[in-house]
Amino acid sequence: MTVLVAAPSVIVPSTGADTAQIVIVLSILAGFMTFIEYYGRYPSIIEFRFAPPFNRLKYFALAAILVSVSFIIRGTTDPTAATVWLTQLGHGLGQAIDFPYSPVRLVVLMMPADADDALVDMVRTASGISYTFSLVMMLSFLTLVRLLGWPSRSGAFNVWVNLPLFDPTGGGDVLHRLRRDAGLNVVLGSLLPFLIPAAMQAASDMVAPISITHPQTLIWTMTAWAFLPASMFMRGIAMSRIADMIEEKRRRAYAENDAPSAKGLQRA
């Protein structure tokens, strides 16, 4: 996590000294918190610690988005074969996804009317490649759940260590609460790519907007816009899968309890 947080500032050559110092502090803090979380025996915040590859898939997708957008921006000043290829890939993906009412189109429309054409094209390229990586992450996790039986193949699933923020004794049926939270996460994950640009556009009319022309701002804005909704969508799918597993276990337990009584009613 330390390297991941610091990667955009290292890759982009125009990072200022003040920004670099802040990034160093944040990267060390992120690495320390992740180390404490995984080194500790008892869970605190991170979910699905012992249900791989849920967190690994999110980490690699986040790294792919950050590194790709950073290299694309680096290519505007220091072009190489890798940056040119990533720029062409992102441009093609952005053009393909930039259709009416798509998330990429809303991000492009979020730009000011007097924005430079090069900046608009850069935003379209960055949003296209970011959104594509988020879609790949979600489809990969769906494949793990539907075809590979996640998380049952990795052993017994412990709700307490994998869902530390979920209290099974909080009241009400666990299945109902899991399905409710799963539906809420899926709905928010589906709507946030559309709502975030609209909210930023509405906020810019009331307060001074943050300049997206700054490379670091563009990188982290596009990353958060693409990764956070996809992460919530994955969490909703995971919680729905856990609810299905609990329901299946209950069904088997009820069937085993009813079997002896059924046999006792039969004549010898």
Q: Is the separation of the CB atoms in 140 and 27 below 8 Å?
A: no
For position 91, what pLDDT does the model report? Answer: 94
> What is the residue-wise DSSP string for 37-96?
HHHSSS-SS-S-TTSTTHHHHHHHHHHHHHHHHHHHHHTTTS--HHHHHHHHHHHHHHHH
Looking at residue 209, the DSSP 8-state letter turns out to be P
Tell me the pLDDT tens digit for each residue of 216-261: 888 999 999 999 999 999 999 999 999 999 898 888 888 877 765 5
Cα 60 from Cα 117, distance rounded (Å): 31
Cα 190 from Cα 131, distance rounded (Å): 12
Tell me the pLDDT tens digit for each residue of 59-106: 999 999 999 999 999 998 899 999 999 999 999 999 999 988 899 999
What are the boundaries of each domain within the chain? 1-41, 52-264
Token look-up 């979020």 returns: 110
User: Mapping DSSP to helix (H, G, I), strand (E, B) and coil, where does residue 115 land?
Assistant: coil
Tell me the pLDDT tens digit for each residue of 94-147: 999 998 889 999 998 888 777 888 889 999 999 999 999 999 999 999 999 998
Burial category of 86 from C-beta neighbours within 10 Å (exposed 0-12, middle 13-18, buried 19 and up): buried
**Which amino acid makes up residue 80?**
T
Q: In whole angstroms, how far apart are CA 44 and each of 60, 89, 174?
A: 22, 39, 20
Cα 185 from Cα 178, distance rounded (Å): 11
